[in-house]
Amino acid sequence: MSGRASRLMRNLTVSKSAESAARIVLEDVSRRIGDLLSWSKRGLLPRLKSVPPTIMGTLGVFLALCLLHAPLLLLPYFWDEAGYYIPAALDLSRHGLLVPQSTLPTGHTPLLSVFLAVVWRLFGFSPFTTRAALILVAALTVVASCALGSCGVRGQARREIILWSALFLALSPLFFAQSSLAHPEILVALFTTLGVVALLRERMVAFALLASLAVLSKETAVILLPAAWLFAWRRKRERRLTAWTALAFPVLPLLAWALYYHRVTGFWTGNAEYLEYNLYSTLNPVRIFLVLLRRIWEFLAAGCNWVLLLAAGLGLWTSRKEEERKRRCERVAALPPDVRKGLAFPYVELNTKAFRLGRLPESRRLSAHQGAQPQQPVSNDFFAAPEPEIPRLTGDFTFVVVGLCTLYLLTLSLVGGAILPRYLLPVFPILYLVVVTFIWRLPRAMARSACTFAAACLVGSWFVNPPYPFPFEDNLAYADFIRLHQQAAHFLEKGPDDPLILTAWPASGELTTPTLGYVTEPLRVTSISGFTSQDFANTSPESFDLLYLYSRRWEPKNNWLARSALLREIQRRYFGYAPQIAERTLVDRYHLRLLANFERGGQWVRIYTPH
């Protein structure tokens, strides 16, 4: 019995040792997996209880945006949609081509085409499914901006700040217009915002995935990576090999795409015309400086953002005055009790904001009739009374977003022939979060009033165009453009015979490509580059049967840029601006007669026929 008992004891000891060893191994593996994934310090896995509210919030924002976009969901495709993104996605959906052949390839990374191709395979090809899918992406971006706020804002009214910043993002005219347009910037905005959130929460694998998706949405999203590398370098403890591997990983998808694109086209990106327009012709120091000024205006002031900027400046000034008052109080509180005991309000200069607003007891307020009479001594509790913490941005958040916004402004000033504000869309969630944080340093009633007024201004900017030229896609002017061209296309489609129509892009594409949604059958079109005097220099009266003229750019009667000869010369020399030829000149040259006229929101379409 004693031998059997001893063997049993040895077996139990071995079993316990094996169990302990297994537990140690499992704990070590769990620790290493957690280190590899770099989840937040609160746990190895994200909290599942936050998932249902996120889903419900996304659905709520999606439904709200769909209701607001209801009149726009069936509109045909617009300008760059019609010129590249829709044909590219159709080539992938119908023929499996990552590099399009039905339109001139530009080298843009293909995630938008992949996304739209999947949506069309599931729900069918139509403007409605396209625009609804993009609105879903926009809704996710609004929710992602809330997650960004939870990482970057501290202090009082934090929840209100996050909600107001998300509301401003959804209501801003640029974001609202782009929410239903098939442009890649809305995808870049989503993945860039989530990438910054993952970076701030130290989730390196999530960052690698999200940054890769951003780069695959559009190649300019690679701007996020230098900002992330600087952030990791600044945090000296971030030296793990897995972390730096994750930070560098998004470069690989971009390199793989460049190699594939070069193999198919012979170019590393774009094409000869694309590179000349977007790179070689932009490297002029004066132009770079002028574009930088335009980018700063587009980012901080355009679309009524200047209202938010002024309110944020007022909040920042108010908070600094309040901090100055606190420092004075702290200096007085540091005095010996026997010195502080006899101090009165006029002596320590405490007739400040809190004093004027009546926050002190009635017995301690100054009376206008007391003059220089001795005042009641200041009690110690005034200086020791805690005050609510003002809203602040965390140091990590400030470092990342300042670097990211600066890199975006500088990079987009160096490259890009078309100076479109939508290219800055990925950093708009950051902008609204920062300015709302500063606005909420004002008293709460004033902050709410300022935010309400700013929201009304943003909504007004959907419909009111600025007094200077701007892209129609920056607000709902693009919808007026589409509806005008729909009217003109229906008029031409119902006309007799089969006339040869002379016009310029994008109208030439609208009339010849039924998939864009303007015509059911292709019309006969001859195309010219634009409507300037040079474009008509070699056009003879016999080369067309109908002339389709329209407003290709916004040029209001009170155009601010037209008031100065210097500004007109800058536009001509550095941005290739040339005014449209006067209609009277064309009428006299070709002996034209007006056949149809359509006008909407300051834009127009006119169809002429020779006598």
Residue 138 has pLDDT above 60, yes or no: yes
Residue 239: pLDDT band with limits 50, 70, 90: low
Lowest-pLDDT range, 31-45, 244-258, 378-392?
Answer: 31-45
**pLDDT, tens digit, 9 for 90 and up, residues 167-206:** 999 999 999 999 999 999 999 999 999 999 999 998 999 9
Peptide bond into 506 cis (omega under 30): yes
**pLDDT, tens digit, 9 for 90 and up, residues 370-384:** 444 444 444 444 444
State the average pLDDT over residues 436-462: 96
pLDDT of residue 6: 55
Q: Give the DSSP letter string of 405-444.
A: HHHHHHHHHHS-SS--GGGGGGGHHHHHHHHHHHHTTS-H
pLDDT of residue 24: 46
pLDDT of residue 342: 57
Share of the chain above pLDDT 90, in %: 66
In this structure, the number of other CB atoms found within 10 A of the CB of residue 125 comes to: 18
State the average pLDDT over residues 412-423: 92
| More confident site: 547 or 348 | 547
State the average pLDDT over residues 292-305: 95
State whether residue 604 is helix, strand or coil: strand
For the chain, domain boundaries: 51-311+395-464, 473-610
As a whole number of angstroms, the distance between CA 138 and CA 179 comes to 5
Task: Supply the pTM of this predicted model.
Answer: 0.84
Residue 512: pLDDT band with limits 50, 70, 90: very high
pLDDT of residue 390: 85
pLDDT of residue 576: 85
Amino acid at 350: L
As a whole number of angstroms, the distance between CA 219 and CA 209 comes to 15
Q: What is the 3-state secondary structure (H, E, C) of 132-172?
A: HHHHHHHHHHHHHHHHHHHHHEECCCHHHHHHHHHHHHHHC
Query: Average model confidence (pLDDT) for the chain?
Result: 85
State the average pLDDT over residues 501-527: 96
> What CA–CA distances, in Å, run from 80 to 136, 182, 185, 191?
20, 8, 12, 22
State the average pLDDT over residues 552-565: 87
Q: What angle do CA 495, 498, 504 make, to 5 degrees?
A: 90
pLDDT of residue 559: 87
Question: Which stretches within 201-304 are classed as H helix?
Answer: 204-217, 224-234, 241-248, 251-265, 272-278, 285-300
pLDDT of residue 277: 83
Lowest-pLDDT range, 18-27, 162-171, 355-364, 517-526?
Answer: 355-364
State the average pLDDT over residues 392-396: 93
As a whole number of angstroms, the distance between CA 62 and CA 180 comes to 11
**pLDDT, tens digit, 9 for 90 and up, residues 316-333:** 998 888 778 777 777 767
pLDDT of residue 31: 46
pLDDT of residue 12: 44
For residue 10, how far is the Cα from the chain centroid?
68
In this structure, the number of other CB atoms found within 10 A of the CB of residue 595 comes to: 15
As a whole number of angstroms, the distance between CA 213 and CA 211 comes to 5
In terms of phi and psi (left: phi > 0; alpha: psi -120 to 50; beta: otherwise), the region of 579 is beta
| More confident site: 196 or 336 | 196
Yes or no: say if 427 and 175 are a contact pair by the CB < 8 Å rule. no
Residue 418: pLDDT band with limits 50, 70, 90: confident
State the average pLDDT over residues 521-545: 92
Of 157, 150, 152, whose CA–CA distance to 319 is shortest?
A: 157
| More confident site: 550 or 352 | 550
| More confident site: 382 or 419 | 419
As a whole number of angstroms, the distance between CA 86 and CA 456 comes to 33
pLDDT of residue 273: 84
Residue 339: pLDDT band with limits 50, 70, 90: low
**pLDDT, tens digit, 9 for 90 and up, residues 490-503:** 999 998 888 999 99
pLDDT of residue 358: 40
Lowest-pLDDT range, 62-66, 196-200, 577-581?
Answer: 577-581
In this structure, the number of other CB atoms found within 10 A of the CB of residue 445 comes to: 8
